[in-house]
Structures are given as structure tokens and as C-alpha cells.
Amino acid sequence: MPIDRLRFVRQVIADEAAALRKVAETLSPAAVEAAQRTADCSGCVVVTGVGKAGLVGQKLVATLSSTGNRAHFMHPSEAIHGDLGCLGPDDLVWAISNSGRSDEVLRIAPHLREYSSGLIALTATEDNPLARMADVVVAIGKHDEADPLGLAPTTTTTVMMAVGDAIALLASRLNGFVASDFAKFHPGGSLGQKLAPVDRFMRPIGACRTAPETGTVRETMVTTARDGRRTGAVMLLDVDGRLAGIFTDSDLARLLETRRDVMLDGPVANVMTKSVQRIESGTLLMKAIEILSSRRISELPIVDTDGKPVGLLDITDVISLDGAASIEPESPSTRNILGLRRRT
């Protein structure tokens, strides 16, 4: 019956979750020592393992590489045929084996210690051949497999991966790894884009409309950017060239809709948004998207350290990125393309 099958799937997940809770409560301080050694490693972290443990190791290499530690995987069978040459005295080895008795790993373990700065073993217990050869033993505990036959590596590989991730992330924290560092290793895709500086996506000042705050609304709205384009927002500047406010097509639409046409020939300073949200050049795009979303605005001026505009980020420049979709557009009369909710 379908319900029995669903119950089975849920039970597998529950069993693996229970194992994770258990290891989270019982993991020893050796995990912290492993993380400290990983953080202090001046070479590469070389991960090795065979079978399912080897596949877990390859995933952990990806975690280490993207969080600040140079890392690569070395297959133990290839190691005895020349790949041990990739090890250097500054490298650190992670050897993964649930039983601690994998022949391929044990065969190279003495060489791993000799040619590297240290050997960390991720095994079920501290009492096995691999553990006895290691400098640090991270014991993940013994766990029943979620497989009803108790044979297929399931729960054990889940625990291995979680513990390895935890060690790698602690090492990353110990090294002071931050989002801007993460961005260096993720230049592609929406994640990499959101971790890039906002300057990469903003419209440069030459493509933006600026005007003095002393002009009228009419004078302000007929301005164009230096490159001849007419965007939907005008940044108003004070006498020193600093950002004083912003006036948008939506602001103009509201004047017309409320029959305040007489204000078109009045000072734009009376109707512009003065306490305009802004961010400094170099800020991550992720932060800019967060501001656009939380403030329900469609234009975000980018300024230098003196408060002078260097560009403008329009929601249409980032709406295609994952996470920007939460900024929901509406359609005021003159803002059917660029418009979002009213500026607050």
C-alpha cells in the first residue's frame, strides 16, 4: 500500500536523523582538535577513503575547498601506485573508514603519516588499526544502518558527512572565513552573483540621471543620463555633489494622480524622498537585494565614502536572480516596468 511505502521512507529518514542527534550529543573534543589542525594547515587537506567512505570524502573535499581550505581527494588504490607523490610536508590527511580496517587505507596509512604533517582518522571507534596509527581520532560512534538488512552504508555515511562538514566549518570559522571570501570560490551562478560586489551589477553614474536639489520637478524630470538614457529615477545632489534625495517616476505619477499638478513647477526638494536608503560601493549584492526586498523599493543609490553617488541599482537589474523573486512588483500608472511598491 502507498501509505506503507511512505511510512518506510519516513522511517529511514527518522533513523538517520536519530543517529545525527546521537553523534551531536556525544562527539568528543577530538573534533575540535581536528578542526584546529585543519585551520592551521598551510598546505592542502588530502582526503582519502575507499568505497562509500571515499565518496563521502570527495564531498568533504568540496566543502573544504569552498570554505577556505585547499583540498583534494586521493584514492588509496592509486596512492600506492604513485599518487603518494602529491603529499607534501605541510599537507594534512583526513582518512575516512567506518571500521578503521579497510585494507587499502591501512596499507598507505604509515606513508600518509610519514609524508604529511599529520593524519586525522574519522572512524566509528578509537580502537581499530587506523585509529592507532592516527594523530587525531574523531570517533563518530557505531550506528545501525537504516537499510532493513543492515548492510548498505546509509546511516554511517550520513554521520560521516555531517561530522566532516562540522569540522570543516569550524576550521573555516577559526580562519575568519567570511562571505566575501566565499564569493571568491563561487564566481558563477546566482549564489556567486549575490556574493559579488554590488558595483558589478549597478548602473554606473554615467548611465544614471542626476540633478541639483535646487531645481523644479519639471526641470528634474526632463534630465537624462550622460549617455543619453532616461531611467526611472533621478538622484538629487547637494552643492557638494552628495546624495540629498531621490525622485522617481512613481513619485511623479502620485503627483498627477492626486491632482497636484501645480507642484510640477515647485522645488523638487519639497517632494523628493530625502531620507533615501543607500549603500556604499563594495557592499555585497546579497545585502542590496535584502534592502530592496525589505524596504519594498525599486531603486537603490550606490555611494562612495563621501556620500557621492557612483551608481544606482534598479530592481530590474537583479530580479532574475534567485531570492530576488520575493520582491513583488505592482503596476502604478507610469511605472509598469520598473515599479514596485511605494517607497517607504
What does the pLDDT read at residue 106?
A: 95
Q: Which residue type is seen at 16?
A: E
What does the pLDDT read at residue 338?
A: 29
Q: Are 48 and 105 in contact (CB under 8 A)?
A: yes
Give CA–CA dist 102/203, Å, rounded.
58
What does the pLDDT read at residue 77?
A: 92
What does the pLDDT read at residue 88?
A: 93
Give CA–CA dist 130/95, Å, rounded.
8
Assign 81 to helix, strand or coil.
coil
Low-confidence spans in the chain with pLDDT less than 50: 323, 325-344
Q: Count Cβ neighbours within 10 Å for each residue of 42-67 and write b for 16 or more, e otherwise.
A: eebbbbbbbebbbbbbebbbebbbbb
Q: Are 296 and 248 in contact (CB under 8 A)?
A: no
What does the pLDDT read at residue 16?
A: 96
What does the pLDDT read at residue 74?
A: 96
For domain 198-326, give the CATH number: 3.10.580.10
Q: Are 202 and 309 in contact (CB under 8 A)?
A: no
What does the pLDDT read at residue 41?
A: 96
Give CA–CA dist 168/160, Å, rounded.
12
Q: Are 46 and 87 in contact (CB under 8 A)?
A: yes
User: Domain-by-domain residue ranges, the chain?
Assistant: 2-177, 198-326
Q: Is the pTM of this model over 0.95?
A: no
Q: Are 47 and 73 in contact (CB under 8 A)?
A: yes
What does the pLDDT read at residue 236?
A: 93
For domain 2-177, give the CATH number: 3.40.50.10490
Give CA–CA dist 315/191, Å, rounded.
17
Q: Report the 10 Å Cβ neighbour count for 73.
A: 19
Give CA–CA dist 206/228, Å, rounded.
9
What does the pLDDT read at residue 343?
A: 40
Q: Which residue type is seen at 194?
A: K
